[in-house]
A and B are shown apart, each in its own frame.
Chain A
Amino acid sequence: MGSFGRFLLKRSLQGVVVILGVISVLFVLRYVTPGSPVDFIAPLDASDATRRRIAESLGLNQPLYVQYGDYIVSLLQGEMGYSYRSRTAVAPRVFAKLPATLELAVAATVVAVILSIPLGVISATRRHTGPDYAATVFSFLGISTPNFWLGVMLVILFAVQFGAFPTSGRPVGLLDALGHLVVIAGPERGWALPLNVGSFVAAMQNWLLHVTLPAITLGTYFTALITRLTRSGMLDELGRGYVQAARAKGLPTTLVRYRHALRNTLIPVITVVGLQLGTLIGGAVITEAVFDWPGLGSLIIDAINNRDWPLIQGSLVVIGAGFVVVNVVVDALYVRLNPRVLE
């Protein structure tokens, strides 16, 4: 096994330990937090007997370690138990919410990357010019603006005043919209695209209209952050010996800039963005609240407000595990791009 393989294995094992830690911490939390889920299910004036019966039917009368053991076993089988409140299975419910959150996060990242890297490069290569100042001011505002406030302002301006965008909601998911394409051109109808792609276009348009404001809301901080990082990284690289040398050798400036300097700049950018993924998911939670975007965020807030522990655990385990996996991938990517760190 190569050193990279060993690194990956070690890192993955650590990840598993962390995920187990996440689950355990959630169980401890459940034990130490005040308030019983029964209070949130039983009617205001329910009798003690009713409350006791509800507790029993939820399995809350079992000792905690039994509940913990049961939970681990069911997780290994891909199950997360049943919601206290609605009695429906938690796992499908959490995974049904995942696409909404992911597409919001992806849309925001796309917005951020498309805007920020050119902005950062322009800013660095035209230092102390109008565009540089504009980009600097923008990135400063971007990292200092709370995204939920930005969202509220965008709604007031573009949805309420101008009516250019819908105010909230996600009537169509991205996968559903793309699904139209698959139905139009599927194995049964032949793979050639027929001319009538109207339903796909309409669904896509609907999705885009609804995702625009949330994506800007969530993406602004990252656009600003990456612009800043790209700018400072580029400035560092452009000042280095090899760039000067390459220039002296007569290599075209653009080639030097984009082939070498930008590539080296992007390595720390990737790491920082990886580190900030938590902020992205956290930001998604609050963006969802602003736009009634039906993702994991609203699910978690609801579950917490109702002490619906299976749902709290399920959604937090998914977020935690997803985050750990992404971190392992980012680390691996970093090591791949930068093999020196292993030595």
Chain B
Amino acid sequence: MSRDVDRREFLTLAGTAAGAATLAGCSGGNETATETSGGSTPMDTGTPEEELPEPETREEHLQRTNRLVHDDAPWIFLNRQYSVYGKSADVEWEARRDERIDGYAIEPTGSKSSVMITQSKMDTGLDPHDHRETTTDNIVTQAYEGLLERDREGKVVNQLATGYERLEAGQVQFELRSGVSFHSGDSLTKEDVAFSINRIVDPEAGDLESSQSDQLAGVTGAEPADGDSAVIVNSDGINPVVFALFATYCDIVNKSWIESNDAAYINSNMEGTGPFMLDTYEQDVRVVFESYDDYYMDAAPADQLTIQSAGEPSTRVNQLLNDETDIIVNVPPQNISQIQSADNASISAVPSTRIIYNAMIYNREPFDSVEFRQAMNYAIDLESMVSNVLGSFGDQTGQPTLEGFTGYNPDLDPYPYDPDEAERLVEASGYAGAEIELHTPSGRYLKDLEISQAVVSYLDELENVSASVKQRDFGKLVDELLDGELETSPAFYLIGWGNAAFDASQTIIPLLTSDGALTSYRNDRVDELMDQAQSMGGES
């Protein structure tokens, strides 16, 4: 198998790995171009990109792509979403960047020893390998742990592994921590770890069609090593992001427990190694944990941890202010000051890894005109929108990559608010008088409908464009976006994309390359640049 084939396969895999975490994969700066592609066809005559020197490092490739995308404006660049939590004065805790809440890090103060979290939804079952949402993650990861973990800032740290190394191209090894026991008292073995990995990647191994197989993209299986407590993980190809993946995904389960119980039981009980063990499970209502006494580190500061849900943000705020709960998720902007000024509560906020944008499908009228797409960006007063709709809990964006990510281009500013320029560009595009309709989900992302309504009202203010909002059922909207045909997608829609990998590629490949799963855009130069960038991936 030639190197090229390997790379192409990696690209496909990376393209399908939603938010595959590659924090360490691309430190940037120290990589050099190992190979430049020959026979590339120059594209997009007329863009200033042509006059720039060819990028060399991976970072430069990614930055160049961001510049191209900024100029060509296949999106209306909107905002980076923040994770905003409310916490009561009875606990000490700080928000994490990856949207998870680690119960172990919550310290009750004063006489209290129990902690209550209110999130937006309950779990969709407790099987740690059979779900994909943050809300379920937040529940199962109190009791289940992975080999590696991330700290609050996103750095990779050990959890059930005490060390890891690459043995050869497609093979890595994890050393296991000793003295770890499951909540039932069974000791953690290397067979359990290998089984857990295989259960995700191999439908035969654990009799489960895991929806997480994409999260361990590239991993083909695992086996216990010859030593006392080590596990070998095999990948297809070099899989440079493998350690990063294990830092975010793959909870370790007890093999014998899984094998001796049916799906319904596994989904309503827990058998992990984590600091909390399940006390009572009232499906759709609440999950109560108690501290696990035999945890291999200090027992959790809280004796009891309850997770409940309230779908309506204002209900969560009320619960917090009425001392009915200790931590609430997704505080809406209009309630932030109220919580911050309350005696019994405060706000904990971090920029998240999610970008909110309006896709404009590149080959559909009137969005097939670059001028028109740029005009849309000039028409939006992004600054006012962020400060008024989002209460300034959001950052303006001007490129698909978020600040702080590998590949972020610091030279690009968000489009300025310039309605005159916008009207001029619309005129120039030949689409004056265009009527456009923005399809938007409601309640899926923070203030999504309000953002859409604000966008449309700015566009509608242009003399030569009329715009309206169409509220969509999220499931059906996504259905249309995913059917692989751009023709059946709405030409203009709002969506949010989370990228826990902190790397430009994990946004650009799925959303902006020709073969991306959720793409709305095709630009051969972008494809080429990303192709080259991904062939330069360093070891994680």
Contacts and interface: CB of A to CB of B under 8 A. Distances in A.
Contact of B214 (A47, A168, A298, A306): A47
B475 A42 contact: no
A45 B510 contact: yes
A54 B268 contact: no
Judged by DSSP, the binding face of A is: loop
B324 A169 contact: yes
A169 B319 contact: yes
A273 B263 CA distance: 43
A45 B214 contact: yes
B354 to A, nearest CB: 13
A292 interface: yes
Contacts of B464: none
B318 A159 contact: yes
B252 interface: no
B310 A168 contact: yes
B124 interface: yes
Interface in A167-189: 167-170
B286 to A, nearest CB: 8
A162 to B, nearest CB: 11
A70 interface: no
Contacts of B282: 96, 294
B478 A44 contact: yes
B377 interface: no
Interface string B113-136: 000000000011101001010000
Contact of B322 (A50, A86, A159, A299): A159
A163 interface: yes
A45 B125 contact: no
What class of interface size applies to chain B in its complex with A?
A: 35 or more
A167 B324 contact: yes
A282 B310 CA distance: 20
Contacts of A306: 475
Contacts of A85: 124-125
Contacts of B311: 292, 298
Interface string B376-390: 000000000000000
A129 to B, nearest CB: 41
A44 B479 contact: no
A87 B127 contact: yes
Contacts of B478: 39, 44
B472 to A, nearest CB: 12
A14 interface: no
Given A83-B125, A168-B319, A50 B214 contact: yes
A53 interface: yes
Contact of A45 (B264, B308, B518): B518
A189 B310 CA distance: 39
B310 A169 contact: yes
B518 A44 contact: yes
Interface string A68-94: 000000000000001101111100010
B214 A93 contact: no
Nearest to A298: B284
B310 A292 contact: yes
B214 A43 contact: yes
B517 A44 contact: yes
B318 A43 contact: no
A176 to B, nearest CB: 11
A97 B284 contact: yes
30 contacts: A35-B475, A39-B476, A39-B478, A44-B18, A45-B15, A45-B214, A45-B510, A45-B517, A47-B214, A50-B213, A50-B214, A54-B211, A83-B125, A85-B125, A87-B125, A87-B263, A88-B283, A93-B283, A159-B322, A160-B318, A167-B322, A167-B324, A168-B310, A169-B310, A292-B312, A292-B315, A294-B284, A305-B475, A306-B475, A307-B475
Interface of B: 15-16, 18, 123-125, 127, 130, 132, 203, 209, 211, 213-214, 263-264, 266-268, 282-285, 308-312, 315, 318-319, 322, 324, 475-476, 478-479, 482, 510, 517-518
Given A45-B214, A87-B263, A168-B310, 15 more contacts: A36-B479, A44-B18, A44-B482, A45-B18, A46-B16, A46-B211, A47-B16, A47-B214, A86-B283, A87-B264, A88-B264, A292-B309, A292-B311, A294-B282, A305-B475
